[in-house]
Amino acid sequence: MNNSVELQHMRPEQLDEAVKKFPVGYIPFGATEFHGRHLPVGLDSTKAHGMLCYFAEQMGGLVVPPIYYGVGGGHVDFPWTWMVDDDALISIIVTTALGLEKNGIKVIVVCSGHYPNESLYERIEERFKEKGGKAEILCIIEHKAFDEDRLQGDHASKFETSSLLALAPETVKMENLQVGETGKSLESFGLPIAEVSGGWWFEKNEEHPWYGIAAREENWPTDASGELGWAYIKNVKTWLEAKIISALETSEN
């Protein structure tokens, strides 16, 4: 619990004071989706929420409660995975953004830890404006801070695992990467092979310890660490901070 940046834990006078200091609101969302057997199914939302709380602690602003719903992604047949209709999710996010603006927020950061949610961003921005929204709205996907790095933007592999080892290490069980649900070891399968050289691999064998994990070639979840996660998160902060400062300057003109 963070009583200084998490909106749900703050009293009205605390919220008003935070808005005066730095009128930025953060909306984290993601999905309820299988992320291998070593990670929690709420990883995407937990990752986005944890990052945004860290950013708010460092820069200022308010973080609304995380939304644990998403769309798309190609994992609906995996255990403990479900998605919602586009319009339902768009409505929740736009309503939240309008509420933040009504209370003095000038810049709204919408951040999804579930990358397929990016397909909603244009409609979120359009709906917000249609309903009278005037605040600057930044819809981001955190791995876009690393467009030149082909190892970024994985699903439950090195970088998502590292992010959670940094933000919520108690939810990660790295030993589950060594032995599958049926007891077969990683050594009995070997490392996954990308479908195309330099491309992505996606482990769909239910007996494999890495079942449900997907990443680019040579991106392995066993290489994850909390230190790598924090380095990743701090780089995202630098990238996002520049966008927020620019948006605040625009909102004042």
Tell me which residue has tokens 């592999």: 157
Q: What is the pLDDT of residues 25-44, one digit of tens each?
A: 999 999 999 999 999 999 99
Closest CA to 67 of 47, 99, 45: 45
The C-alpha atoms of residue 39 and residue 236 are separated, in whole angstroms, by 22
Tell me which residue has tokens 């400062």: 245
pLDDT band at 199 (very low <50, low <70, confident <90, very high): confident
The C-alpha atoms of residue 235 and residue 87 are separated, in whole angstroms, by 32
What is the structure's pLDDT at 90?
98
The C-alpha atoms of residue 29 and residue 44 are separated, in whole angstroms, by 7
Q: Let me know the angle formed at the C-alpha of 55 by 218 and 2, rounded to the nearest 5 degrees.
A: 115
What's the whole-model pTM score? Answer: 0.95
The CATH architecture one would assign to domain 7-252 is 3-Layer(aba) Sandwich (3.40)
Interstrand relation of 136-140 and 107-112 (parallel, antiparallel or unpaired): parallel
Q: What is the pLDDT of residues 113-129, one digit of tens each?
A: 999 999 999 999 999 99
Length of the chain: 253
